[in-house]
Amino acid sequence: MLVVVCIKQVPDTTQVKIDPVTGNLIREGVPFIMNPFDTHALEEGLRLKGKYGLNVAVISMGPPNTEITLRKALALGVDNAVLLSDRAFGGADTLATSKVLAEATRQLAQKEEVVIVLCGKQTIDGDTAQVGPGIATRLGYSQLTLVEHIENIDLQAKKIIARRKLEGRDEVVEASLPAMISVVREINTPRYPTVPMRLMAEGATVTLWDNKEMKLNEETIGLKGSATQVRKIFSPERAVGEILGDGAANPDEAANLLIDKLSEGGLILI
Amino acid sequence: MTNSILFLTIFLISISFFGWSCFRYFRLITLGKAENRFDHLGKRIRDLFLYSFAQRCSISGSYRFGVNHAILFWCFMILLVANTEFLLAGIFPDYINLANLPTGLYYTIALIFDIASLLALLAVLTAAGRRLFFPPKYIEARTRDAFFILGMVAVLMLAFFGLHSSEIAQGSERAALYMPISSFVASSILPGASTESLISLANISWWIHAIVLLCFLNYLPYSKHMHILTVIPNSFFKRLTRMSLQPREEFNKGNVFGVGQVDQFTWKALFDSYCCTECGRCSDVCPATSTNKPLNPRLVIHDIKENLLTNGPMLINKEQAKLPLIGGGQDGSIDEEVIWECTTCGACMEVCPAFIEHVPRITDMRRDLVEMKARFPQELLNFFENMEQRSNPWGIAPAERTKWAAKINVQPFEAGKTECLFFVGCAGAYDARSRHVTLAVTKILDSAGVSWGILGKDEPCCGDSLRRLGNEYVFDRMVKENIEMFKEKGVRKVITQCPHCYHTLKNDYRRYGIELEVVHHTELINNLIKEGRLELTQTRDLGNIAFHDSCYLGRYNNIYEAPRKAIALATNQAPVEMERHHDRSFCCGAGGGRMWMEEKIGKHINVLRIEEAMKENPETICVCCPYCMTMFEDGLKDKGADNRVKVLDLAEIIAKAIK
Amino acid sequence: MEEKKKIKKPRGKARLIPGKCIACGARCQSSCPKDAIEMTEDCEPVISIEECIGCLKCIKVCPADAIEIYFTPEEQRILDEIKARSRAVAEPEAEVLSDKEAAALAKIKQYKGVWVFIEQTEGEPALVAWELLGAGAELARTLNVELCSVVIGNKVEELCRESFAYGVTRSYLMDAPVFRFYRTEPYCQAICYLVEKYKPEIVLVGATGLGRDLAGAVATKLETGLTADCTGLAIDDKGFLLQTRPAFGGNIMATILTENTRPQMSTVRPRVMSLPVRDASLRGEIVRESMPLKEDDFTTKVLEIIKDSKLDAVDVAAADVIVSGGRGMCARENFSILQELADELGGVVGCSRSVVEAGWMPVERQVGQTGKTVRPKLYIACGISGAIQHLVGMQDSDVIIAINQDRQAPIFEVASYGIVGDVLKVVPVITRRISELRAQRIKPKENRQPITKNAGDRKGRKHID
């Protein structure tokens, strides 16, 4: 039985800065990393492997250099890594992305029964949290988002019990397998690769699936299959370092100025 | 004749047993991995004489009882000859006898032996007295083992005098006049004794001497006095650099990385464990031990020895080791937390009179934990990721590396256009406090007309903490990339403001095939002043300046005087020394990657050091390292003294003194 | 005329404007009909001059306006010539729609109205739903269409009426025991059923855990566009919904459209849109719908709901608002003023390393290099100087407020707004002011019904059969 972990290689957005003069993004030297939320999904997959003896496959849709990130997953102990890369996949929004990932899962499931698909809660570059539900819906799997703890998996009865983290409450939910689970960062602490595993991963194979392999209708994937279009992109106005009033002499005035700023920015509701 | 045969039998049994003990012990050394300690023979032989026979370590420093050890050592060397003669004469009484030597020579030897025996006796009494009345801090010094050995030596000396004085009293010793002590005993205690009782006294003394001597010999390998056999060779095998440099690792499939089992140490590491004299000096100076943390360098070495003795025989027979080297929770096994507590300050190695190399052993085991087991304090996960993916400890964007230079004009480094690379370092570039130091350094460089440039956002981290934390794999990859970039850019001369960058670029990078001319700003400043390029026109009194030696400048690279001279010139006043200074300086607590970990057990090292500094009533504490800066400022805040005492980097003090 | 037409109009070549590319994910490459674009390791396009036919597709698709067309001087000369000649006969290039596009356009014209999903848990509505009604009303006004609410649950009709008070004129209600607890499958089916039947053009959902779970499933099922976490909603001249949201870790803002499918779906974060004024006198129509859904159709079961009030651990890393204290707070007791501000803002109290060292706060609250890395919407640093160990743990927060006595403290370098002053004086003033302002605002709304139906018996840990 197989656990499929969906990962995305993303630019490390915490490293991206805006050029104060041109307003352009400074991306030079910014590394591509495994989406931090996905590292927790991967870790959970590896823990399930340890606990239930499941095999773990990672899939990732992206440009050819995504292979580097897939090798990192191999170094952590996954059994199989599949790179979904094709020009036709490019420019995809979440709808078109989930199409490709769901299809890849379906094809993997033809060889080995898939019990769980794991995703990170969201990505740090897109922040949408939509691909996981997209995959679940397309495959007809149970959908458990924002999981902070997997309490039990019964492979015989095909049941899973998981604890979800929502605003102001946790929910303990039972669902049938196969299930798509998106995880929050609190679920675990990702492991660090050992050197022998890294060396092994350097020579391991990353399977490449392009659209010849996947045979998806090109109208439903990539840019063409995307329902949303980005019309324009602009720099947000971000206040930096504005000192409000004279807090030492007149704390009331400074406090009022601050509250004005915060309510203008929608940060506090008055 | 019967005596000779009886003695011969006893002698053969005990010497065989001793031989077997030695064989058993030293065969275990062969389990260790290869390491070349036979290079630079000339230097090694010189060290052998300097450190063993001249007892340089015992005498040097503030160890009052070191002289006692030197006396005992030399008495032992002399009496080694005496006792060899004694044993051989016991077996071949008819053939071997010192008395057969030419008269002059024999008299001289007799005199030397007699005096040496007395000195040895006195030294042994002093040692016992010290253990009774001025006990060292650690408990083992007063164990039965110590008193037993001292007792044996005392008995040997007493038997020596018993034998010789009774012979003198009998009138059968022709060198009596040249044996003042034995003669004194003979004349003051023995006159009037009958010949028979004198003969039996001589006999008894002889047998006591013989038996105790053989017992002593056989007891040696099983006690801390094994060092008598091992330290002399170890002074030959001693490291030739100030601090030993960790060897590189080859990252090939199937290799084992670090040391997780005792036979993965090098033979030298194993041999070191036989050399410990349990003198406790390393424990006294260790920042972790001094602040009540479980790490004690002496016990680390002790555990390695115990582990070798337990597992060695099994490993020799190709069996599985029984006792884990790390985390076994018992004697002979080292706890993981102990391994992470080391600041790699090198104080233990500096003071060890037996040339044991503690720090590399810790790093060896850290490598095992990181590289083979991926087990480390969880704070380090973030740190390792940041280093690997973002080439700085905090994971800050490369675009921010030049933020410190926003208000000044800085040249990018270009070979041909700029002479030196100013390697700002991660702290110097990102840390708000250290950025002031960076600016001070640039002011000095410009004032002295040094041609310098920076790498800006392309500057990588040197990788120091990775190496000290045992993450050699990532360090290896970073260094290879960095060196390629240095070569591409034509970097030859490098100025650093961080002792860790300095040591790493200068000493560690050499092993990767790049010889950089690295200079730390302390040295540079001192040289610029000396050469007259830097004019200190506004020398000013900054009050009492307490100077703190950074481990990686001082102990690791022998830079002690340059900063002191510079302070004296800039303030017209020499800095005050803290209680521990120069090579005995006490770590700030941040080295060895400790900067990135929480200090959960015991007193904080930086607080202890701050308390020491505060005793000198300083207005300013001068440091030369961004880590020390952080630790001292934090310590002052902890003590609530940050409004009274300032921490300044040397560069800042100098920058104040120039226009 | 014929002679003139023979001059072939040069189309130019596309080229990348340095520094503008944001590595959006190879939209340009994907759009290129000639495969003339290769991506670099940094995911920026390299456009082959030989292959490029100047079709402008990549330029149109590039969200960052990072590609431009350029002409050689020779081409430019020809262009100028053409321009000069054709000045008289200005021929506006009419956009020709393909059949496919025309069909799509016809289809989307069938969709009308703005819908807001009213999120509720055990009958208690999420505040974001009312906020969305405010935004939805604006959109409906611009489009001149109806504002509707969608209420799904068990015994939740009251919420339909409550939504009328915020300007809804028609409320769709699906009320059945099977909807008692939120589960993706029944809720998704219910919404899809309603959408397919009534065809709204816009569906707004709160970007809560529940809302994002639902919207993602619904949009996939309906094969339509969904834009997450919008901070701005507007209507363009063609009647499309302009959805503006932060992207790239908040470094840029993107305006996103769903041009060819309907409905246009957005999720909107709580506290982004302001709460509209409630008018209890407003009335509307409730449209009751039902589906033949049985409990046995669903394998997912909610076993237990555990309220955060019963969870002992305060999770700093997951909080949207953090009020953090440093050594400048002077004493452990003073952290109570931070807790009061945090309570007022619905946030939690964090702290710097030195506070943990001093034993004033537990280590779980520590933000920084060796503590938690946080990225809240609002981070208020009180009496924190901003040592680098702390900064790296919080500098990616959306808005940072620094309150510190020392103007030189590095915390002001990363702060959006700063107050230089005594934290012990400033913070209580802020707390008091917010609470006063809120009290003033709440008063006129006193007639607001307690919509939290079973607020009285809210149990911390509740078992469900």
| Domain segments of chain B as ranges | 36-231, 262-372, 381-657
Q: Quote the pLDDT of residue C304.
A: 92
Place of tokens 């079973």: C454
B379 interfaces chain C, CB cutoff of 8 Å: yes
Query: Which comes out higher in pLDDT, residue B638 or A148?
Result: A148
What per-residue confidence (pLDDT) applies to C89?
A: 56
Tell whether the model's pLDDT for residue C281 goes beyond 70: yes
Please tell me the predicted confidence (pLDDT) of residue C287: 96
Are C128 and C177 within one domain?
yes
The answer on C41 and C164 residing in a single domain is no
Give the pLDDT score at A232. Answer: 85
Q: Is it the case that residue C465 has pLDDT exceeding 50? A: no
Is B237 within 8 Å of B271 (Cβ atoms)? yes
Instruction: Please indicate, yes or no, whether residues C298 and C180 belong to a single structural domain of this protein.
Output: yes
Least confident residue range of A136-140, B412-416, B484-488, C27-31: C27-31
pLDDT in tens, B560-606: 999 999 999 999 889 999 999 999 999 999 999 999 999 989 999 99
- In a mutational test of the B interface, the residue from A26, A192, A200 whose CB has the highest number of chain B CBs within 10 Å is A192
| Domain contains C457 | no
The minimal CB distance from C386 to the residues B383, B432, B597 is found for B432
Average of pLDDT values for C207-225?
96
Q: B177-213 pLDDT, tens per residue?
A: 888 888 888 888 767 778 888 888 888 888 898 899 8
Answer with the one of C34, C61, C90 that is the final residue of a domain: C90
Q: What is the pLDDT of residue C87?
A: 66
Question: Which residues of chain A neighbour B398 with C-beta distances below 8 Å?
Answer: 15, 28-30
Give the model's pLDDT for residue A96.
Answer: 95
Q: From the candidates A13, A18, A68, A195, which should be mutated to test the interface with B, based on the most B CB atoms within 10 A?
A: A195
Burial per residue of B107-128, b for 16 or more beta-carbon CB atoms within 10 angstroms, e otherwise: bebbbbbbbbbbbbbebbebbb
Write the pLDDT tens digit of every residue in B329-354: 899 999 999 999 999 999 999 999 89
Contact A33 B389 (CB under 8 A): yes
Residue B559: φ, ψ to 5°: -100, 105
Question: Is pLDDT larger for residue B500 or for residue C344?
Answer: B500
| Cβ separation A29–B457 shorter than 8 A | yes
pLDDT at C313: 64
Note whether C172 and C272 are same-domain residues.
yes
CA nearest neighbour of C304 among A43, A164, A104 = A164
Which carries the bigger pLDDT value, residue A257 or residue A6?
A6
Mean pLDDT of C348-354: 92
Q: By the CB < 8 Å criterion, does B596 face chain C? A: yes
Per DSSP, B353 falls in state: T
CA distance C253 to C266: 15
Cβ-defined contact of C392 to B395 (cutoff 8 Å) = yes
Residue B112: pLDDT over 70: yes
Q: Amino acid identity, residue B335?
A: D
Calculate mean pLDDT across residues C277-288.
Answer: 93
Highest mean pLDDT among B219-228, C156-165, C369-378: C156-165
Q: Which residues contact C127 (CB under 8 A, 6 or more apart)?
A: C270, C275
HSE-up of A39 (CA within 13 Å, CB side)? 21
Judging contacts by C-beta atoms under 8 Å, the chain B residues touching residue C413 are 432
Domain B262-372 classification at class level: mainly alpha
What pLDDT score was predicted for residue C291?
A: 93
C contacts of A25 (beta carbons < 8 Å): 22, 248, 251-252
Average of per-residue pLDDT across A216-236: 89
Chains that touch B (3 or more CB pairs under 8 A): A, C
In a domain, C98, yes or no: no
Contacts of A268 in chain C (CB under 8 A): 271, 345, 378, 434
The owner of tokens 């943390």 is: B293
CB pairs under 8 A between A and C: 322
- Mean pLDDT for chain C? 86
Confidence of residue B295 (pLDDT cuts 50, 70, 90): very high
- Tens digits of residue pLDDT in A9-52: 998 887 887 777 777 777 777 889 999 999 999 999 999 999 99
Split at pLDDT 50, 70, 90, the class of C451 is very low
pLDDT bin (cut points 50, 70, 90) of residue B58 is low
Mean pLDDT, chain B, as a whole number? 90
Which has the higher per-residue pLDDT, C249 or B106? B106
Other CB atoms closer than 10 Å to residue B8's CB: what's the count? 13
Cα angle C383, C384, C387 (rounded to 5 degrees) comes to: 155
Query: To which H or E segment does residue B315 belong?
Result: helix B297-316
Which residues make beta-bridge pairs with A56?
A: A3
- Which residues of C touch chain B, with CB atoms under 8 Å apart? 327, 354, 357-358, 369-370, 373, 386-389, 391-392, 410, 413
Say whether residue A268 is in contact with chain C using an 8 A CB cutoff.
yes
Of the candidate CATH numbers 1.10.10, 1.20.1330, 1.20.950, 1.10.8, the domain formed by B36-231 belongs to 1.20.950
Confidence of residue C454 (pLDDT cuts 50, 70, 90): very low
Chain B interface mutation, best of C369, C375, C413, highest count of B Cβ atoms under 10 Å? C369
**Which domain CATH number covers C356?**
3.40.50.1220
What pLDDT is recorded for position B2? 53
Q: Tokens for B598?
A: 């929480």
Whether the pLDDT of residue B6 is over 70: the answer is yes
Residue C458 scores a pLDDT above 90: no
What does pLDDT average to over chain A?
92
Give chain B positions within 8 Å (CB) of C410.
432-433
Q: Find the CATH number of the domain harbouring C37.
A: 3.30.70.20
CA distance A101 to chain C (A): 13
- Give the domain extent around C33: 2-90
Read off the tokens for B502: 């300095």
Q: Which positions 91-150 of A are in contact with B (Cβ < 8 Å)?
A: none
Total domains in chain C come to: 3
- The verdict on C218 and C259 lying in the same domain is yes
What was the pLDDT predicted at B196? Answer: 84
Question: Sorting pLDDT into bands at 50, 70 and 90, what band is B174?
Answer: confident
Q: Are residues C337 and C230 in the same domain?
A: no
pLDDT at B24 over 70: yes
What pLDDT was estimated at residue C310?
59
Chain A contact set for C215 (CB, 8 A) = 130, 133
d(CA B545, CA C330): 29
B596 vs C contacts (CB less than 8 Å):
369-370
Contacts A198 to B, Cβ<8 Å: 473
Are C178 and C265 in the same domain?
yes
C96 occurs within a structural domain: no
- Residue with the larger pLDDT of the pair C27 and B324: B324
Residue C309 lies in a domain: no
pLDDT at B142: 59
Q: Are residues C124 and C227 in the same domain?
A: yes
The pLDDT of B12-36, averaged and rounded, is 92
Q: Other CB atoms closer than 10 Å to residue C232's CB: what's the count?
A: 15
Q: What is the pLDDT of residues A166-187, one digit of tens each?
A: 888 899 999 999 999 999 988 9
Domain boundary, last residue among C90, C118, C146 = C90
Closest Cα in chain C, distance from residue A56 (Å):
24
- Chain A neighbours, 3+ Cβ pairs < 8 A: B, C
Q: Give the whole-angstrom CA distance, residue B489 versus residue B417.
A: 11
Say whether residue B552 is in contact with chain C using an 8 A CB cutoff: no
Residue C14 amino acid letter: A
Mean pLDDT of the region C274-303: 92
Position C242 scores a pLDDT of 96
pLDDT confidence bin for C94, thresholds 50/70/90? low
Sign of dihedral through CA atoms C132, C138, C143, C147? positive
Say if residue C218 is in the same domain as residue C269.
yes
pLDDT at site A239: 62
pLDDT category at C110 given cuts 50, 70, 90 is: very high
Separation of alpha carbons C249 and A14, rounded Å: 7
C148 and C245 fall within a common domain: yes
Q: In the prediction, which pLDDT does C447 show? A: 42
* Confidence at residue B562, expressed as pLDDT on a 0 to 100 scale: 95
Question: Do the chains contact at B399 and A28, CB–CB below 8 Å?
Answer: yes
Are C117 and C252 in a shared domain? yes
Any domain includes C364: yes
Write the residue in B371, B381, B398 that is nearest to A195 by C-beta: B371
Q: What is the pLDDT of residue A270?
A: 60
Q: Does residue C147 share a domain with residue C295? A: yes
List pLDDT tens digits, range B499-514. 999 999 999 999 998 9
Put simply, whether C242 touches A (Cβ < 8 Å) is: yes
Q: Which two tokens mark C85?
A: 């000649």
What is the pLDDT at residue A196?
Answer: 97
Chain A segment 8-47 residues within 8 A of B by beta carbon are 12, 14-17, 26, 28-31, 33
pLDDT at res. B59: 64
Rounded to an integer, what distance in angstroms lies between the CA atom of residue B497 and that of residue B625?
A: 7
C315 compared with B432, residue with greater pLDDT: B432
Distance CA(B572)–CA(A48), nearest Å, equals 69
Test A31 with B390 for CB contact under 8 angstroms.
yes
Q: Given an 8 Å threshold on Cβ–Cβ distance, is C184 in contact with A185?
A: no
Mean pLDDT computed over B354-367: 95
Closest residue, chain C, to A64 (C-alpha): C41
